[in-house]
Amino acid sequence: MVYPLSHLYVSSQILGHMDTSLALGSVLPDVLVGSGVVWRKAHHSTGRPFREHLVTPSLRVGAALHGIDLPGLDYDSDVSFGEGRGYAYQKAVHIEEDLLRLGVEPEHALWRGHNFVEMAIEIELNRHHSHLWQYLNEGQQDPALMTQITQLAESLEATRPEAATAVLDRFLNIRGEQERLARDYAAKLNRSYSLALEPDQIEQVIAKIAVIIASDYRDFLDRSIHRIRQALADSPF
């Protein structure tokens, strides 16, 4: 999930607390992607580079809870959940036609659609757990933590290793607010496909998928939290 509050929430539920280093770790794989690291490399977040460069334990743990090799939340959301593909992709099939009508290329429709599922979850969580943003804000201002992230990005061959602060600024400017998410995503699609979408068009699709996932997204999160907690207990962390 590229939307940070979901990761902050899941980490806080698994460990029973939140702090600045755990908050940064919980969003770290997506910060690395935003710094130009290949997605799979950034999300294999228990690997040697993470162990070598993240000297703060909760920074390492947060990254592991996010990634796909513990496996963490993004495994359940993006790779595999239940009997099928990741939860967000399973739900994205319900808005695939909507994405095509917006002008998204057919081969990208499910990929873009899964982002709408993630945005809908982010908006719902922000209604009840917005206090978690403060930890991310404080973590961004910690030079020792940010230095570890930059060094890790460099070791993973990031094309923009200095971009971590800008990525976090984007997260903290949006803060799970529906209008800001829609504005940000409309701009992204417009850049990618030479479109002229308005934010309200994005909001309409978010609203549609929010209704579709309303009955089971909590169950998805709860099941994922339970599984990741067990995986963490069985791991060397």
User: What pLDDT does residue 133 have?
Assistant: 99
**What's the rounded mean pLDDT across residues 2-14?**
96
- What is the rounded distance in angstroms from the CA atom of residue 185 to the CA atom of residue 119? 10
- Residue 119 and residue 185 in contact, taking contact as beta carbons nearer than 8 Å: yes
pLDDT, the chain, mean? 98
- What is the rounded distance in angstroms from the CA atom of residue 18 to the CA atom of residue 14? 10
Dihedral sign (CA 17, 23, 28, 29):
positive
Torsion of CA 205, 207, 211, 215, to 10 degrees: 100
pLDDT above 90 coverage of the chain, percent: 98
pLDDT for 71-81, tens place per residue? Answer: 999 999 999 99
**What's the rounded mean pLDDT across residues 90-97?**
99
- Confidence band, pLDDT 50/70/90 cuts, at residue 236: confident
User: What pLDDT does residue 1 have?
Assistant: 61
User: What pLDDT does residue 142 have?
Assistant: 98
Domain ranges of the chain: 4-233
Q: Which residues are within 8 A (CB) of 114 and not within 5 positions of it... i.e. 6 or more apart?
A: 77, 78, 86, 88, 89, 91, 92
- What is the rounded distance in angstroms from the CA atom of residue 226 to the CA atom of residue 54? 25
Provide the whole-model pTM: 0.97
Phi/psi for 4 (5° steps) reads -70, -30
